[in-house]
Amino acid sequence: MKVQEYQKYCFKNYKRDIGYPENYTYLFGNPINVLVPIETATNKFMIVGAYPSAKFFTIDNIIDTPVADNNSPFSNESYFDGSRVRTIPSGKELNEVILKQIGIKREECWITDLVKLFLFKEGHIERYRKLNKNDLVENRTKFDEYAQKSIHWLEKEIEIANPKLIILLGLEVTKNIFQVSENVAKDYLNGELKNKVVNGIERNFICLPHPGILMKNTDRNPWPERFRNEIAPRVRQIIDELNIRN
């Protein structure tokens, strides 16, 4: 299957396949679409996040109200939210916190999410209730269920992309891909090379902390310093050993 064939097939069938409600829409009726991978470099790196974010607006003085899909996984786009210009944080976090430190270029990556639809937290639902939209319920807590149903979609992407190294971002993605407990998954977030057979082919994986936690520079958060001093150098060395850096 070619990239565009996969994109079309995934966009059409993914929502139904994982059991995501077909009738869910954002506040003003904007559809919640499947965010298929748009940046699709092959034979290099694959980046796998948890699930896509959305565009958040200020509506009737209610801040951070989700109203539309992002353009793509880990999008870089900027937009005006009703009160200020915002940039999608996930794209900036990926670029500046992960890729820059491990020394690879965004254009070398196939960038995707394990779960390919926006998930509503309870806080989003509360904002919607204040704006008289009452037909949605929280589904963020269904991530693991959706993730397990999404693994065969990711495996298809791996087959098409043929990455030399697959980079999993965060505890939830790691836990679901490797089928381990949260405690074990946390130990995996060290940038060490791991191998897993996918559709009969042994693939190279590394697991990294979610970029969001690496942005939180506080005395009580050890991850930014550990990533800078220990994890990122280890990943750079692995990439060099695998001979996949330009």
Whether residue 72 contacts residue 38, with contact meaning beta carbons closer than 8 Å, is answered with yes
Residue 199 falls in which region: left (phi positive, over 0), alpha (psi -120 to 50) or beta: left
Question: Given this model, what pLDDT does residue 214 score?
Answer: 87
Global model pTM greater than 0.75 = yes
Q: What is the pLDDT of residue 219?
A: 83
Q: Can you list the residues of the chain whose pLDDT is less than 70?
A: 245-246
Per-residue pLDDT, 81: 82
> What does the pLDDT read at residue 65?
95
Domain annotation for the chain: domains and CATH numbers: 3-242 (3.40.470.10)
| pLDDT, position 218 | 87
- How much is the pLDDT for 79? 86
Give the residue from 37, 40, 42, 36 showing the smallest Cα distance to 13. Answer: 36
| 193/139 Cα distance (integer angstroms) | 33
pLDDT value of position 246: 57
Residue 95 makes CB contacts below 8 A (sequence gap 6+) with 76, 106
- How confident is the model at residue 86, as a pLDDT? 84
Q: What is the pLDDT of residue 183?
A: 96
